[in-house]
Amino acid sequence: MGAVITLTPITDKIVHNKHKKLTNTKPEKEYVKTIIHNLSLQRWTDQENYDYLKREKKIEISRSRITTIRNNVEKQAEKWYVELKDSRYKYLALYKERIYSLLSYQRKLNNIIEFYTTNRIYHDTVIKAYPDYTVSNYP
């Protein structure tokens, strides 16, 4: 049987019950938060989250702590939305610029393909030219 992880509701520290030291590592806390968030997106109740964490993941955590974590995720989402709204569409402008850049690369690729196909140059030459203009080279 694997190690049992316990989150104490007062200190929010993770305890490994197999004679391991008390730890408070961020990755372990983030792991638990991610699980709670993913289950909440599936519309699981706090009780269902609690049962799943205890039974399947062997993580001891109080229902009130699950509720707090879920509420914090919602507050962070609200804060992000307000910041996005207050940025006066800078976020959308950034993506618009990226889309135009990708369209430019696409036009260049189409020009390369058209040039090589109209001049009846072999397909291998087109393939060799292609990596110079791929999206993965975009910063």
Which DSSP string corresponds to 75-106?
HHHHHHHHHHHHTTTHHHHHHHHHHHHHHHHH
Residue-wise pLDDT for 48-73, tens only, equals: 999 999 999 888 888 999 999 999 98
Q: Residue 6: which H helix or E strand, with range? A: strand 5-7
The residues with which 7 forms a beta bridge, in sequence order, are 14
Percent of residues, the chain, with pLDDT higher than 90: 19
Residue 19 has a pLDDT of 33
Rounded to two decimals, the pTM is: 0.47
Residue 47 has a pLDDT of 93
Residue-wise pLDDT for 11-40, tens only, equals: 444 444 443 333 568 888 888 888 998 898
- So where are the chain's domains? 5-86, 90-137
Determine contact, residues 60/6, Cβ cutoff 8 Å. Answer: yes
Beta-carbon contacts of 79 under 8 Å, excluding residues fewer than 6 positions away, are: none
| 3-class DSSP assignment, residue 15 | strand
